[in-house]
Amino acid sequence: MPICNNFTPYFSFDLFYMNNKVFLILGLLCCIYATVTFTSGCAQIGAPTGGPRDTLVPILLKANPEKDKLNFTGNKITLSFNEYIEIDNLQENLLVSPSPKNNPVINSNLKTITIKLKDTLRPNTTYSINFGNAIKDINEGNVLKNYTYTFSTGNHIDSLTLEGKVQMAETGKIDSTLLVFLYKDAPDSAVQNRKPDYISRVNGEGRFSFSHLPAASFKIYALKDGDGGKTYNAKTEPFAFYDNDINTASVNAPVNLFAFAEKKPEAKTQDVPKSSADKKKGAAEKKLRYIIANGSKKQDLLESFDINFSSPLKKFDSLNIILSDTNYKPIAGTRIRIDSSRTKINILPTWQPETDYRLIVMKDAIADSLGNTLEKTDTIFFQSKKIADYGTVVLRFKNIDLAKHPVLLFLEGESVKATFPVTSTEWSNKMFIPGDYGIRILYDENNNGTWDPGSYTDKKQPEKAISLPQKLSVRADWDNERDIVL
């Protein structure tokens, strides 16, 4: 039982006549405590509950000069909002069109944003200042997305638009870090030596849009601008170009661009110095060791049996490597070869399902550059998979262009695991390794078996691929079928 319910207040007014003031104070406190106790019970202290979270974005109350101002002649703009705001990552978000030589100076203070223009404005031109995701409220970080302030130095606001989509040509996927450039009445070399007149961003769906454009002829490009220079100056940068100039007064369909990197960036390698322990270990190592690539798993009927070595082999005698059955009878037609790095041996016969094999590697069949050989002849025992370990895949295509030599690619993550040419509207495979696969269609137009990038110098577009949005899940001992509409 709470102690407060057992408390019986007692106070004698005779205390007022006592000389000890301490007793008077204690008596008054008792009265106060009793009053609180009997009116509210044993009071408990708790934190006040807050209201719902603020999810409202800042609202523009006033712009000075007003938005869409005509015959603009000033160099200062103020934007006033209904709450305290801040500007975040302005350099990454701000887009000014037409592109200035010097970006405006933009500051925020309490509920106000101030824009100071640093360039001389062009006559009879519509300007737009797009803040992207830079404007947000201070308390909750609610973003005012893509707020755009527009004005014109002439007597009208340009209102033409241009829309489109950018995809990566090799994969068919989207890269939202790409920028799209417009050059007005410009030569082909403009994208290589000066900033564009108009810039737009690519969204998560690969789409872009320009607004407030004049009636004019434009060249259009897309670029992954690694150095921030807004020019195409490296063939390792993903880049896209449209074959023809676009007149904004007559364009009536979205523009599709396909980005490619003409050259792959060089892989960076870093030498890791060996520790003294590693050096001693290497110096003491006098044995030739290897690793079976498949480990303890059963041998895939579609793949080679691989042996990996930590160092290149100087000696390789395929006649002293024998694949046999359980009676040690050699398997006819077996191909045994070493790869170009001389660190992997491939054994590839025509595998029989659910069969036991013996691989005999003679002691003197191999040796590394230090002369290390096997300590003794090794015999490796393994078994192949059965037919039921594989699935049947049937794909039926609609709208596939067979004249462009389509190639079907199966991917695990970003790695291509298998490729097959497609010669009809139906493709099938009765022995497919189970797993979850991404599917890509490559139009191999020159039929050379690989993807070819484009060339801006030669005005050659890249070969194009289509990535399907859904993965294909292949189950063992199962008919896996799908209809694909391209």
Bridge-based pairing of strands 472-474 and 435-443 is antiparallel
Q: Which two tokens stand for residue 167?
A: 């995809």
Q: Which residue has tokens 């890269």? A: 175
Amino acid symbol at 464: K
Give dist(CA 123, CA 152) in Å, integer.
9
Give dist(CA 211, CA 97) in Å, integer.
10
What does the pLDDT read at residue 252? 86
What does the pLDDT read at residue 208? 96
Q: CA 269 → CA 224, 266, 272, 274, distances in Å?
A: 24, 9, 10, 15
Asked whether the CA dihedral 401, 402, 404, 406 is positive or negative, the reply is positive
Give dist(CA 288, CA 363) in Å, integer.
10
- Considering the domain delimited by 60-147, tell me its CATH architecture: Sandwich (2.60)
Q: Which residue has tokens 């872009």? A: 208
What does the pLDDT read at residue 161? 95
Domain 160-259 grouped into CATH 3.90.1150.10: no
CATH class of 284-387: mainly beta
Q: Where are the beta strands (DSSP E) in 214-265?
A: 217-223, 239-241, 246-247, 255-259
Give dist(CA 208, CA 365) in Å, integer.
62
Give dist(CA 222, CA 216) in Å, integer.
19
Give dist(CA 30, CA 13) in Å, integer.
13
Tell which residue, 81, 80, 77, has the closest CA to residue 59: 81
Q: Which residues contact 269 (CB under 8 A, 6 or more apart)?
A: none
The DSSP letter of residue 93 is H
Q: Where are the beta strands (DSSP E) in 76-132?
A: 76-81, 85-87, 95-97, 105-109, 112-116, 126-130
- Considering the domain delimited by 390-485, tell me its CATH architecture: Sandwich (2.60)
3-state helix, strand, coil in the chain (%, to 5): 10, 40, 50
- Other residues' Cβ atoms within 10 Å of the Cβ of residue 178: 24
Supply φ then ψ for residue 212, to 5 degrees. Answer: 55, 40
Note if the bond before 349 is cis, omega within 30 degrees: no
Give the mean pLDDT per block of 10 residues along the chain (486 residues).
42 42 47 44 48 82 96 95 94 91 92 94 94 93 94 96 96 95 95 94 94 96 91 94 95 94 75 52 65 88 93 94 95 94 94 96 91 91 95 95 95 92 95 95 93 95 94 94 91
SS3 state at 422: coil
What does the pLDDT read at residue 276? 52
Q: Which two tokens stand for residue 128?
A: 């737009």
What does the pLDDT read at residue 48? 53
Burial of 4 (0-12, 13-18, 19+ CB in 10 A): middle
Tell which residue, 174, 180, 6, 10, has the closest CA to residue 99: 180
Contact 25, 11 (CB under 8 A): no
What does the pLDDT read at residue 189? 95
Give dist(CA 12, CA 130) in Å, integer.
77
Bridge-based pairing of strands 391-398 and 406-412 is unpaired
